[in-house]
């Protein structure tokens, strides 16, 4: 679904006959919030990239450690863009364990994911769900539910985790991130992770892209340098942009064979 | 069986091994330490159960359920759990009993059963929630689609500025209203409403204020004529549909309410914007009409209201409409008539009152209309003047008169001149002089045998230009007559200054000659002596009796025209008269 193909007044239609990346991700994580079409696509993906479940798990674990880190440094507000199907280990669960008054906004473009999130989060204080597209950050920032939940005069952590590879270069991802950055107060953080082709051979890359082309969202893998550039304006927190298992692992063993995780990730802090 | 003294460290060793076994089997949403804590507690439970008599298999189920609840949910996780427990638990915890292998098998079976059951329930639950989410999303998407369709429909049928129904919606409502009212003898009406000189509001205050004024006008209109439908047709034009009218009065009342509402003082952005409007009203039985007819009739009537000066309503008048339609049709047929040669000229003698000789003839245009028969100029000259068609028609008359007059030259030593009427528009044309000069050259008609008749108003209306034209025509040697003298301003100044050769006195004065010593006779006498003093000849028009002719001669009038001296006749009759000297 692209803004170019659809006039603004026309709402999205729900097409459960097409695989959804949010539900495929849930399948990789061992969840059952998915349909046959999602599982079929995920299995095709796994045939091409057997590490796909591992990638998803590693990425999810990165998200958990990043949110843990952010609560440790005092962040109480989170804007999770591309939150997908809220399986276990959601941002608010991690954050609110130590900071009960933490506030979390989940944003996803997938209407089923949004409906599911709303159901899961009904009655959970400090959380809200907004259906919006990362490609329209100004709409996200202006959304009344976002503004009612988050106070942008205070630090906010923006999470763009396992989403950017669904934003092709012609959608100007750097510009989208700049728009988000402009709305943030000093002390805010940016968490990014995305699929990277560093160290992949061409055949594997083509095969993986082929699978994602059949989903709603084709894949744009990026290099470490490109991902690092996305942190423009932020100071990268140690250890910088690394394979996600290498980002502050709990045990040294966790970081072994890290490049198999395919995802690069990092956390940046807005100075000032 | 008894509690080993160093139970805690031993459980810790096993729990760590268990945690390692589970690593990578599925996503574990907790830090390693938290996982080990959980597994340590479950290890304690396992150990305690194995030691306790009788063996409580429900604990096996509970352990499995806790694992699944902690999102340790993969098939691999179960396999590894069974493996690590079987291989290490008894050894690591130093659990010894005769039937331990048997107890272990039964407990592990309970764990596997409980795990499969919990995993199945979890899977079913998740499937249910995702399906419900898909349905919810589907419903929401459909609602959004319907809302946007409704919005789109509204936009397509409403005016964006005032949010009133637009022409499209009004057309639908009107058609429905006509249809619904048909058959029962029911009546309905329309008010076509247009703000008077609204352009001035835009010009004086700008379009922003103009737009706001329109919005305010629309609001006031709707309120004033509720519940009748008000639509904006575009620009400053509105229309009101009055259904179930009981007669003209109902619709007039609506129009008056509308006019009153619009005339209320309005302050827009600090400007006192005063507006008035014109309304065209049509009201009739639905059976006798169609939406198109109603719209057209209301539109026509609106123009009547505008033409009458605006700030008023007018009621549709079928006779007037028919008359005007006929006039328009006639006017539209003039160019074709010219092309097809449907026009021709008759000539009326201008006779000398001194000796009864034929001095000249006035060319009078006729139209042999294919449907209406022969039409006299009073039926179509006015129309031609309004529309500007007088220029080609007048040009044709002038040329035809010259062409026919030339034919009379050979018949007599004193051929009559031909007198042709010129309309204001013709005189104002810069190329008139050129046209006359070329015509005279082409036909060979001597200039003094052409007389051009202009009205007083022609002289009064224009500035310098007509006067220069007349001078140039006079310089060619053409005679200039003032037609219908005495009915207009009768400005004596131009009689002195202009190269006029003749006055034609209107028939009104002649008709007054029936009574002896009447005021008209004195006026005529003075007029004639005045004309003579200015070296002009005088021709009296509309002379119908011998008595009138006699009085005119006595007064000293030079010539006369009228039934008494000859009716308008075709060119051949004039030729015969010129040849034979007989009266027509």
Q: Are B423 and B524 contained in the same domain?
A: yes
d(CA B129, CA B131): 5
CB atoms B27 and A57 under 8 Å: yes
CB contacts, 8 Å: B31 with chain A: 64, 68, 250
CB contacts, 8 Å: A30 with chain B: 26-27, 71, 73-74
Structural domain span for residue A191: 50-208+222-270
| E strand or H helix that includes residue B508 | helix B507-511
3-state class (DSSP) for residue B392: helix
3-state class (DSSP) for residue A242: strand
Q: Are B259 and B382 contained in the same domain?
A: no
Which CATH number is B13's domain given? Answer: 1.10.490
The token pair that represents A130 in the structure block: 């907004």
Task: Please tell me the total count of domains within chain B.
Answer: 3
DSSP string, A203-227: HHHHHHHHHHHTSSS----B-HHHH
Q: Are B311 and B374 contained in the same domain?
A: no
Looking at the partner chain, which of B29, B136, B147 has a beta carbon nearest the beta carbon of A115?
A: B136
Q: If 0-12 CB within 10 Å is exposed, 13-18 middle and 19+ buried, where does residue B429 land?
A: middle
Closest Cα of chain B to A136: distance in Å? 19
Q: Are B287 and B428 contained in the same domain?
A: no
Chain-centre distance of CA B451, in angstroms?
Answer: 48
Q: Are B359 and B452 contained in the same domain?
A: yes
CB atoms B130 and A33 under 8 Å: yes
CB contacts, 8 Å: A113 with chain B: 133
- At residue A1, does pLDDT exceed 50? no
Angle, to 10 degrees, between the axis of helix B100-157 and the axis of helix B75-84?
Answer: 160
CA max distance for chain B? 169
CB pairs under 8 A between A and B: 93
Closest Cα of chain A to B28: distance in Å? 8
The DSSP secondary-structure symbol of A166 reads: G
Last residue of a domain, one of B290, B316, B342: B316
Last residue of a domain, one of B281, B316, B351: B316
A151 in any annotated domain: yes
> Mean pLDDT for each consecutive 10-residue tract of chain B (584 residues)?
55 90 83 90 93 92 94 91 92 84 93 95 93 91 88 91 94 92 86 92 89 92 93 93 92 94 86 90 91 93 93 93 88 92 95 92 95 92 89 95 90 90 88 94 94 82 73 93 79 76 86 71 86 91 90 92 92 83 49
- At residue A110, does pLDDT exceed 70? yes
Q: Are B425 and B355 contained in the same domain?
A: yes
CB atoms A250 and B145 under 8 Å: no
Q: Are B332 and B375 contained in the same domain?
A: yes
Are β-strands A242-243 and A157-161 bridged in parallel, bridged antiparallel, or unpaired? unpaired
CB atoms A60 and B132 under 8 Å: no
Q: If 0-12 CB within 10 Å is exposed, 13-18 middle and 19+ buried, where does residue A123 land?
A: exposed
Q: Are B272 and B347 contained in the same domain?
A: no
Q: Is B132 on the interface with A (CB under 8 A)?
A: yes
B144 in any annotated domain: no
- At residue A177, does pLDDT exceed 90? yes
Which CATH number is A80's domain given? Answer: 3.40.50.150
CA max distance for chain A? 52
Quote the pLDDT of residue B224: 93
Q: Is B438 on the interface with A (CB under 8 A)?
A: no
Q: Show the beta-strand stretches assigned E in A127-213.
A: 127-131, 157-161, 189-195
For A6-30, the pLDDT digits (tens) are 444 444 556 677 888 899 999 998 8
Closest Cα of chain B to A1: distance in Å? 14
d(CA A62, CA A159): 11
Quote the pLDDT of residue B31: 83
d(CA B38, CA B16): 11
3-state class (DSSP) for residue A165: helix
Quote the pLDDT of residue A13: 59
Are β-strands B417-421 and B358-369 bridged in parallel, bridged antiparallel, or unpaired? parallel
B136 in any annotated domain: no
Last residue of a domain, one of B102, B129, B156: B129
CB atoms B145 and A10 under 8 Å: yes
Quote the pLDDT of residue A5: 40
Looking at the partner chain, which of B127, B141, B148 has a beta carbon nearest the beta carbon of A32?
A: B127
What are residue B560's phi and psi, to 5 degrees?
-145, 155
Closest Cα of chain A to B329: distance in Å? 50
A261 in any annotated domain: yes
Q: Is A206 on the interface with B (CB under 8 A)?
A: no
Confirm if B275 and B162 have CB atoms less than 8 A apart. Answer: no
Quote the pLDDT of residue A214: 58
User: Residue holding tokens 């005032």?
Assistant: B162
Q: Which residues pair with A108 in a beta bridge?
A: A131
CB contacts, 8 Å: B22 with chain A: none
Q: Are B270 and B416 contained in the same domain?
A: no
CB atoms B133 and A250 under 8 Å: no
Q: Are B359 and B458 contained in the same domain?
A: yes
Which CATH number is B176's domain given? Answer: 3.30.70.270
> Which of B69, B72, B137, B154 to probe the A interface (max A CBs under 10 A)?
B137
Angle, to 10 degrees, between the axis of helix B57-69 and the axis of helix B100-157?
Answer: 40
Chain A from 144 to 173: CB within 8 A of any B CB: none
CB atoms A116 and B29 under 8 Å: no
Structural domain span for residue B288: 167-316
A12 in any annotated domain: no
B287 in any annotated domain: yes
Q: Which residue of B has its CA nearest to A261?
A: B24
A35 in any annotated domain: no
B379 in any annotated domain: yes
Q: Which residues pair with B420 in a beta bridge?
A: B452
Q: Is A12 on the interface with B (CB under 8 A)?
A: yes
The token pair that represents A227 in the structure block: 């991902």
d(CA B550, CA B546): 6
Q: Is A11 on the interface with B (CB under 8 A)?
A: yes
The CA distances from residue B132 to A15, A110, A119, in Å, are 14, 15, 9
A28 in any annotated domain: no
3-state class (DSSP) for residue A4: coil
Chain B from 44 to 83: CB within 8 A of any A CB: 71, 73-74
CB contacts, 8 Å: B133 with chain A: 33, 112-113, 115-116, 119
Q: Are B403 and B538 contained in the same domain?
A: yes
Quote the pLDDT of residue A3: 33
For A73-85, the pLDDT digits (tens) are 999 999 999 999 8
Confirm if A61 and A94 have CB atoms less than 8 A apart. Answer: no
Quote the pLDDT of residue A218: 65
CB contacts, 8 Å: B141 with chain A: 11-14, 111
Q: Are B119 and B178 contained in the same domain?
A: no
- At residue A39, does pLDDT exceed 80? yes
What are residue B450's phi and psi, to 5 degrees?
-115, 125
> Quick one: average pLDDT of A207-221?
65
Quote the pLDDT of residue A252: 83
Instruction: Kindly provide the b/e burial profile for residues B140-178, where b requires at least 16 CB atoms within 10 angstroms of the residue's own CB.
Output: bbeebeeeeeeeeeeeebbbeebebbbbebbbebbeebb
Of B393, B397, B373, B375, the C-alpha closest to B385 is: B393
B443 in any annotated domain: yes
Check residues B320 and A261 and name the one with the higher pLDDT. Answer: B320
Task: Please tell me the total count of domains within chain A.
Answer: 1
Q: Is A185 on the interface with B (CB under 8 A)?
A: no
The CA distances from residue B189 to A146, B223, B282, B322, in Å, are 54, 18, 5, 20
């Amino acid at each position: 679904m692209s803004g170019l193909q659809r006039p603004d007044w026309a709402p999205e239609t729900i097409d459960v006959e097409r695989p959804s990346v949010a539900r495929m991700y849930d399948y990789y994580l061992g969840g059952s919030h998915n349909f046959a079409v999602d599982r079929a696509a995920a299995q095709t993906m796994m045939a091409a990239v057997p590490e796909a479940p591992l990638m998803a798990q590693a990425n999810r674990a990165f998200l958990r450690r990043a949110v843990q880190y952010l609560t440790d440094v005092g962040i109480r507000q989170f804007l999770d863009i591309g939150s997908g199907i809220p399986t276990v280990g959601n941002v608010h669960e991690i954050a609110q364990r130590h900071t009960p008054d933490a506030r979390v906004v989940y944003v996803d473009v997938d209407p089923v994911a949004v409906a599911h999130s709303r159901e899961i989060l009904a009655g959970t204080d400090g959380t809200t769900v907004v259906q919006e597209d990362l490609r329209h950050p100004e709409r996200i920032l202006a959304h009344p539910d976002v503004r009612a939940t988050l106070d942008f005069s205070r630090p906010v952590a923006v999470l763009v985790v396992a989403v950017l590879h669904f934003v092709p270069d012609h959608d100007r991802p750097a510009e989208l991130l700049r728009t988000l950055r402009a709305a943030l107060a000093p002390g805010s953080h940016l968490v990014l992770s995305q699929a990277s082709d560093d160290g992949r051979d061409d055949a594997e890359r083509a095969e993986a892209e082929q699978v994602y082309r059949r989903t709603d969202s084709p894949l744009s893998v990026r290099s470490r340098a490109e991902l690092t550039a996305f942190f423009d304006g932020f100071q990268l927190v140690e250890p910088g942009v690394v394979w996600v298992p290498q980002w502050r692992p709990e045990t040294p063993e966790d970081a072994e064979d890290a490049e198999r995780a395919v995802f690069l990730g990092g956390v940046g802090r807005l100075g000032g | 069986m008894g509690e080993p003294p160093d139970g805690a460290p031993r459980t810790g060793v096993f729990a760590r091994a268990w945690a390692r076994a589970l690593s990578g089997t599925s996503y574990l949403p907790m830090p390693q330490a938290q996982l080990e804590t959980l597994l340590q507690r479950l290890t304690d439970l396992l150990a305690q159960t194995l030691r306790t008599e009788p063996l409580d298999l429900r604990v096996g189920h509970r352990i499995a359920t806790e694992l699944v609840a902690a999102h340790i949910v993969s098939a691999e996780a179960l396999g590894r759990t069974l493996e690590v427990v079987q291989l290490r638990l008894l050894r690591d915890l130093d659990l010894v009993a005769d039937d331990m292998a048997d107890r272990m098998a039964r407990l592990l079976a309970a764990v596997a059963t409980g795990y499969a059951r919990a995993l199945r329930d979890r899977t079913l639950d998740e499937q249910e929630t995702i399906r419900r989410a898909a349905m919810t999303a589907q419903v929401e998407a459909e609602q959004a689609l319907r809302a946007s369709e409704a919005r789109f429909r509204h936009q397509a049928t409403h005016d964006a500025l005032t949010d009133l129904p637009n022409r499209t919606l009004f057309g639908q409502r009107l058609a429905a209203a006509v249809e619904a009212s048909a058959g029962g003898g029911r009546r309905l009406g329309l008010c076509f409403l247009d703000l008077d000189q609204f352009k001035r509001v835009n010009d004086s205050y700008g379009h922003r204020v103009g737009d706001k004024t329109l919005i305010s006008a629309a609001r006031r209109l709707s309120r004033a004529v509720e519940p009748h439908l008000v639509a904006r047709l575009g620009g400053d034009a509105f229309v009101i549909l009055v259904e179930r009218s009981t007669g003209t009065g109902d619709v007039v009342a609506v129009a008056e309410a509308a006019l009153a509402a619009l005339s209320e003082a309005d302050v827009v952005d600090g400007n006192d914007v005063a507006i008035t409007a014109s309304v065209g009203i049509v009201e009739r039985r639905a059976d006798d009409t169609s939406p198109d007819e109603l719209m057209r009739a209301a539109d026509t009537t609106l123009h009547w209201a505008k033409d009458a000066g605006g700030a008023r309503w007018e009621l549709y008048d079928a006779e007037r409409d028919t008359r005007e339609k006929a006039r328009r049709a006639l006017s539209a047929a003039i160019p074709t008539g010219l092309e097809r040669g449907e026009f021709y000229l008759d000539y009326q003698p201008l006779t000398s009152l001194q000796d009864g000789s034929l001095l000249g003839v006035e060319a009078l245009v006729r139209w042999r209309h294919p449907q209406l028969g022969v039409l006299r100029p009073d039926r179509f000259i006015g129309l031609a003047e309004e529309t500007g068609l007088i220029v080609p028609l007048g040009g044709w008359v002038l040329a035809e008169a010259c062409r026919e007059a030339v034919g009379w030259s050979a018949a007599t030593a004193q051929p009559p001149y031909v007198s042709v009427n010129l309309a204001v528009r013709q005189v104002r044309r810069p190329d008139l002089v050129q046209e006359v000069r070329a015509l005279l050259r082409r036909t060979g008609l001597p200039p003094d045998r052409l007389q051009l008749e202009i009205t007083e108003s022609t002289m009064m209306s224009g500035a310098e230009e007509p006067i220069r034209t007349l001078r140039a025509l006079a310089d060619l040697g053409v005679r200039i007559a003032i037609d219908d003298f005495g009915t207009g301003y009768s400005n004596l100044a131009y009689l002195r200054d202009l190269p006029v050769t003749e006055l034609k006195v209107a028939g009104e004065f002649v008709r007054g000659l029936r009574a002896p010593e009447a005021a008209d006779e004195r006026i005529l006498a003075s007029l004639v002596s005045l004309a003579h003093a200015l070296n002009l000849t005088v021709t009296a028009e509309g002379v119908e009796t011998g008595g009138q002719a006699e009085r005119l001669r006595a007064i000293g009038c030079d010539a006369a025209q009228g039934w008494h001296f000859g009716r308008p006749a075709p060119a051949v009759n004039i030729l015969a008269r010129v040849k034979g000297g007989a009266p027509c």
